[in-house]
Amino acid sequence: DTGVSQDPRHKITKRGQNVTFRCDPISEHNRLYWYRQTLGQGPEFLTYFQNEAQLEKSRLLSDRFSAERPKGSFSTLEIQRTEQGDSAMYLCASSRGLQPQHFGDGTRLSIL
Amino acid sequence: GEDVEQSLFLSVREGDSSVINCTYTDSSSTYLYWYKQEPGAGLQLLTYIFSNMDMKQDQRLTVLLNKKDKHLSLRIADTQTGDSAIYFCAEIMDTGRRALTFGSGTRLQVQP
């Protein structure tokens, strides 16, 4: 069990650029979640997948955000036309069914 | 509505017990969780309790749940400097929604 892996760990980009993050869940975990955490706050839910199906999206997930999990294994989260307010830690978690969610170390996004 | 509240800060001396408190508002919560976050890292699952339980003990950790008052606590016995971190309380509701709702976290500082 290698844990949830996220790449990159840090991303610095200019406002208006597109960014993409990757998450590799624990193998055989069928559920995968994305959360966003800003400084001094707890994580906030963005979206989740069961296998390859995206089953729920938060209202925090604006039109500039898109997430995929094409083969039911790894997932990508893309942010288009980044804004200053997108600066945050993006956390991925996975679970086997209703079992507890296990988190990766996150991708910290900084918008210049 | 969904609301999880925690006190912001707790300072204890090494060897003492720490008690971190959490209140939640949604009575349909099924599972309640405690996660630990160290600087620059993701969230580590510490323990969780099902809503039909009152107490759960796991080595140095004791979780108490008071459903009437919607109050959850985490007691860490013999607190060590390595326990210094931010502790998050989180809930999952019995509405079919699988997203975790987090509090803002309690920063635990352990003084030698």
pLDDT of B1 reads 43
pLDDT of residue B94 exceeding 80, the answer is no
Cβ distance B35 to B88 under 8 Å? Answer: yes
Looking at per-residue pLDDT, the higher value among B4 and B2 belongs to B4
How far is the alpha carbon of B108 from chain A, nearest alpha carbon, in Å? Answer: 14
Mean pLDDT, chain A, rounded, equals 94
Residue with tokens 């510490």: B46
Give pLDDT tens digits for B42-52: 999 999 998 88
Cβ distance B63 to B7 under 8 Å? Answer: no
The rounded distance, in Å, linking the Cα atoms of A5 and A105 is 7
Residues of chain A positioned with their CB less than 8 A from the CB of B40 = 105, 108
**Mean pLDDT across B61-66:** 96
**Mean pLDDT across B57-80:** 95
Phi, psi of B98 (to 5 degrees): -105, 5
How far is the alpha carbon of B5 from chain A, nearest alpha carbon, in Å? Answer: 10
Looking at per-residue pLDDT, the higher value among A2 and B12 belongs to B12
**Mean pLDDT across B85-112:** 89
Phi, psi of B36 (to 5 degrees): -115, 135
Four-CA torsion B22, B25, B26, B27, nearest 10 degrees: 80
Q: Does A7 touch chain B (CB under 8 A)?
A: no
Select from A6, A23, A103, A105 the residue whose CB has the most chain B CBs within 10 Å, as the one to mutate to test that interface.
A103
Q: Does A31 touch chain B (CB under 8 A)?
A: yes
Residue with tokens 């109050």: B71
Give pLDDT tens digits for A55-105: 999 988 899 999 999 988 999 999 999 999 999 999 999 999 888 999 999
pLDDT of residue B34 exceeding 80, the answer is yes
Mean pLDDT, chain B, rounded, equals 91
CB contact under 8 A, B100 and A101: yes
Cβ distance B45 to B37 under 8 Å? Answer: no
